[in-house]
Structure 1
Amino acid sequence: MLPLPGPAGAAPSAPGQLIFQENCVRCHGADGRLGRNGAHDLTKSNLNAFGRTYLVTNGLGKMPAFSKKLTPAQIEQVVAYSLTLK
């Protein structure tokens, strides 16, 4: 499978970026700001890595849990990538 292009057509560079594109873009958008289906704007989130890891792992409200779909390492990678969205 070829990597999906990131913002401005760039290939994914961070390990979690491809995971983000495959699982999160639908609601959060490529830049984290989409807000579809009640998703929060990740660029304005006050959650640190611990809080984001909890949410990605367990879900909350409309945010689904990814503990059965992603490994702990993949969750750590996607959380690290989400923290770069500004």
Structure 2
Amino acid sequence: MKKIITVMLLLGIAIFTFIFGSSALAADAVSGTKVFSANCASCHAGGKNLVQAQKNLKKDALEKYGLYSAEAIIAQVTKGKNAMPAFGKRLKPSQIEDVAAYVLSQADKDWK
């Protein structure tokens, strides 16, 4: 049952993102900056990855590892993976969405 709810939640997020496009998420990038600075920058400052350098937050790496979408970033931040801890219990879903918007906006600008 828990798995079905998780799948439905992720599907709902995917549908929302598809309907409203990345421009809806871009409005939250400013808030995402603050959340990213407080929770992610210790490992990912400037789009880098201090634990696994090749798995950084640059656009080409995000595309290579299948993470160049809000849905994928939201899932990764929420659940964690490998060395990355899960933030699903520490951050609100809206904060995680804001971080995804921020990461995508910065990746598009090559973190400059």
- TM-score, structure 2 normalization: 0.60
Cα deviation digits, residues 52-85 of structure 1 (max 9, x gap): 1100000000010001100000000011001012
Structure with the larger RCO, 1 or 2 (CA within 8 Å, 6+ apart): 2
Write out aligned runs for 1:70-81 (5 A). Answer: 70-81=91-102
Equivalent-residue separation in structure 2 for 1:58 and 1:41 (angstroms): 18
Runs of at least 4 residues of structure 1 off by over 3 A? none
| Equivalent residue number for residue 42 of structure 1 | 57
Number of equivalenced pairs: 72
Deviation at 1:24, TM superposition (A): 0.6
Write out aligned runs for 1:5-44 (5 A). Answer: 14-29=30-45, 31-33=46-48, 35-38=49-52, 40-43=55-58, 44=61
Equivalent-residue separation in structure 1 for 2:72 and 2:95 (angstroms): 16
Cα deviation digits, residues 32-67 of structure 1 (max 9, x gap): 12x212262101311211111100000000010001
Give 5+ residue unaligned stretches, structure 2.
1-28
Give 5+ residue unaligned stretches, structure 1.
1-12
- State the identity as a percent: 39
Bigger helix share = 2
- TM-score, structure 1 normalization: 0.77
